[in-house]
């Protein structure tokens, strides 16, 4: 199928637009000019949905105007599809106030108007190159052909599995795990919950909460370790002042005894040298210990940061899946309401037909006396055959009416 032309009316911020796509087309322009909405209009015309799987009809309209008419027409090389959405609020009797919002969606394919979306979608599937009737009614084949995110995010596990089994056949759980080594990491988890993704997902959520608590505890521990690294400036200043005082005393003794060989001075010098050497060695060992301690803390911080990032990614992924599932449920609820309205209308029509049938069935043939031609002498009915023919014609007409009803 080749899309040759697109005509859009009142779709979001697009008041009117026509695009000729017979040659290569590039959409370029500033933000909020309609580039994304053009793609979204084409997608809506084919699937009746937004890209996130929802069906918020009012968001299609410019500035959310309820009574605006939205129209998208797709001209392809093999067929033409036009879709029109109308919304209105009927006036309530008596008060004249506007009632609940009503809407209709009409489909034209090659100029022919379809009564409902189901018939239009069946015809559209054939035109798109597939007329396979799937047993999996919840799987939207049209959307799967167009939306690259539908199978990965918009379709729940059980519906997708039923669809795949119907297309290519069933496989065992062991075959699934053997097909991809990455799946082996969740093999025990899935087996524990009898391969139910919902229960497994609930367990993972609990694990995410536990990991977050561990991260918070680890962050508190890291703060405690960092506080150990802080040097007591007061103690350091006192030690420095003591060393300076010792240096002054040694200098004074050296000045007083300069030029003389004093054993006590020499011994003091040796002791001072020894203490200085031990102090230097102690400082070196302390520095190495501090550096090693810092490396361990940095490694632990990197590990905890990775754990935190992984947990946040898992939490965000679960939130995206939950939003997608809620949007899909909302769309299904709206479809159910529409189908229930159609059922009620058909039931009312059936009751009318049934009453009409009983009324017609209760009618009896009456023969006007004025139609008889009687012999004045013997009283014999001269046109008996014609009267019987009239009666047969009436009964035949009644039976046709009953069959038609």
Look up residue 150 and give its two tokens.
Answer: 């539908």
Q: Is residue 389 part of a domain?
A: yes
Shared-domain flag, residues 368 and 292? no
Model confidence at 308: pLDDT above 60 = yes
Burial label for 120, CB within 10 Å (0-12, 13-18, 19+), is buried
Q: Is residue 178 part of a domain?
A: no
Contact 143, 150 (CB under 8 A): yes
Q: Cα–Cα distance between 405 and 352 in angstroms, integer? A: 10
Q: Please give the average per-residue pLDDT across 103-128, as a whole number.
A: 84
Return the percentage of the chain with pLDDT > 90, whole number.
18
Q: Is residue 169 part of a domain?
A: no
Q: Cα–Cα distance between 56 and 333 in angstroms, integer? A: 12
Q: Cα–Cα distance between 125 and 140 in angstroms, integer? A: 11
pLDDT at 43: 82
Return the percentage of the chain with pLDDT > 70, whole number.
82
- Which neighbouring-strand residues pair with 353? none
Burial label for 40, CB within 10 Å (0-12, 13-18, 19+), is buried
Model confidence at 226: pLDDT above 70 = no
Shared-domain flag, residues 326 and 372? no
Determine the straight-line distance between the first and last CA of the chain, rounded to whole angstroms.
44
Radius of gyration of the chain (CA): 44
Model confidence at 250: pLDDT above 70 = no
Shared-domain flag, residues 276 and 389? no
Q: Please give the average per-residue pLDDT across 93-107, as a whole number.
A: 76
Shared-domain flag, residues 370 and 317? no
Residue with the bigger pLDDT between 92 and 340: it is: 340
- Which neighbouring-strand residues pair with 16? 9
Helix (H, G, I), strand (E, B) or coil at 37: helix
pLDDT at 137: 54
Q: Which of 306, 330, 354 is the last residue in one of the domains?
A: 330
pLDDT at 351: 94
How many domains does the chain fold into?
3
Shared-domain flag, residues 16 and 123? yes
Q: Which of 89, 114, 131 is the last residue in one of the domains?
A: 131
pLDDT at 129: 72
Shared-domain flag, residues 11 and 127? yes
Cα atoms in the Cβ-side hemisphere of radius 13 Å centred on 322: 9
Q: Is residue 103 part of a domain?
A: yes
Q: Is residue 82 part of a domain?
A: yes
Long-range contacts of 109-112 (CB under 8 A, 24+ apart): 109/79, 109/80, 109/81, 109/82, 110/79, 110/80, 111/80
Phi, psi of 98 (to 5 degrees): -65, 140
Q: Cα–Cα distance between 149 and 137 in angstroms, integer? A: 19
Can you give the CATH number for the domain in which 61 is found?
3.40.50.300
Shared-domain flag, residues 311 and 388? no
Shared-domain flag, residues 72 and 7? yes
Q: Cα–Cα distance between 65 and 224 in angstroms, integer? A: 59
- Work out whether strand 112-114 and strand 102-109 pair parallel, antiparallel, or are unpaired: antiparallel
Sequence-distant (≥ 6) Cβ neighbours of residue 257 within 8 angstroms: 265
pLDDT at 258: 45
List the one residue out of 75, 76, 12 whose CA is nearest residue 38. 12
Q: Which of 75, 106, 131 is the last residue in one of the domains?
A: 131
Q: Is residue 54 part of a domain?
A: yes
Find the domain containing 387 and state its range: 364-405
Contact 352, 77 (CB under 8 A): no
Per-residue exposure over 334-353, b if at least 16 CB sit within 10 Å of its own CB, e if not: eeeeeeeeeeeeeeeeeeee
Sequence-distant (≥ 6) Cβ neighbours of residue 314 within 8 angstroms: 204, 208
pTM of the model: 0.38
List the one residue out of 317, 329, 287, 370 whose CA is nearest residue 201. 317
Q: Is residue 394 part of a domain?
A: yes
Helical H runs in 82-172?
117-127, 141-146, 157-168
Extract the runs of DSSP E, i.e. beta strands, from 79-188. 80-88, 102-109, 112-114
Q: Is residue 345 part of a domain?
A: no
Model confidence at 86: pLDDT above 90 = no
């Amino acid at each position: 199928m080749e899309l040759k032309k697109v005509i859009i009316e009142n779709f979001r911020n697009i008041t009117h637009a026509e695009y000729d796509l017979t040659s290569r087309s590039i959409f370029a322009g500033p933000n909020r000019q309609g580039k994304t909405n053009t793609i979204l209009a084409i997608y809506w015309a084919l699937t009746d949905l937004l890209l996130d799987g929802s069906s918020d009809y009012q968001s299609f309209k410019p500035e959310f105007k309820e009574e605006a008419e939205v129209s998208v027409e797709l001209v392809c090389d093999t067929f033409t599809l036009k879709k029109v959405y109308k919304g209105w609020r009927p006036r309530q009797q008596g008060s004249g106030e506007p009632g609940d919002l009503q809407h209709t969606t009409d489909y034209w394919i090659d100029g022919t108007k379809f009564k409902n979306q189901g018939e239009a979608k069946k015809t559209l599937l054939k035109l798109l190159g597939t007329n396979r009737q799937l047993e999996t009614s919840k799987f939207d084949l049209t959307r799967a052909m167009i939306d690259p995110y539908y199978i990965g995010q918009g379709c729940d596990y059980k519906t997708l599995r039923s669809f795949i089994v119907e297309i290519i056949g069933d496989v065992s759980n062991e075959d699934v795990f053997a097909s991809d080594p990455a799946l082996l990491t969740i093999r025990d988890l899935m087996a524990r919950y009898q391969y139910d993704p919902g229960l497994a997902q609930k367990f993972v959520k609990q694990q995410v909460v536990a990991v977050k608590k561990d991260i918070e505890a680890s962050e508190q521990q890291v703060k405690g370790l960092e506080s150990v690294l802080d040097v007591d400036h007061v103690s350091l200043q006192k030690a420095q002042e003591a060393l300076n005082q010792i240096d002054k005393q040694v200098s004074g003794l050296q000045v007083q005894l300069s030029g003389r060989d004093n054993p006590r001075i020499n011994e003091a010098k040796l002791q001072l040298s020894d203490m200085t050497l031990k102090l230097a060695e102690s400082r070196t060992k302390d520095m190495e210990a501090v550096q090693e301690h810092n490396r361990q803390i940095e490694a632990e911080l990197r590990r905890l940061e990775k754990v935190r990032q992984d947990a946040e990614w898992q939490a965000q992924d679960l939130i995206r899946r939950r939003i997608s599932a809620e949007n899909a449920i909302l769309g299904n609820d709206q479809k159910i309401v529409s189908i229930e309205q159609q059922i009620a209308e058909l039931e009312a029509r059936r009751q009318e037909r049934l009453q009409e049938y009983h009324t017609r069935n209760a009618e009896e043939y009456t023969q006007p006396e004025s139609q008889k031609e009687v012999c004045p002498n013997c009283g014999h009915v001269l046109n008996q055959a014609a009267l019987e023919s009239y009666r047969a014609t009436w009964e035949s007409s009644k039976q046709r009416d009953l069959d038609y009803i």
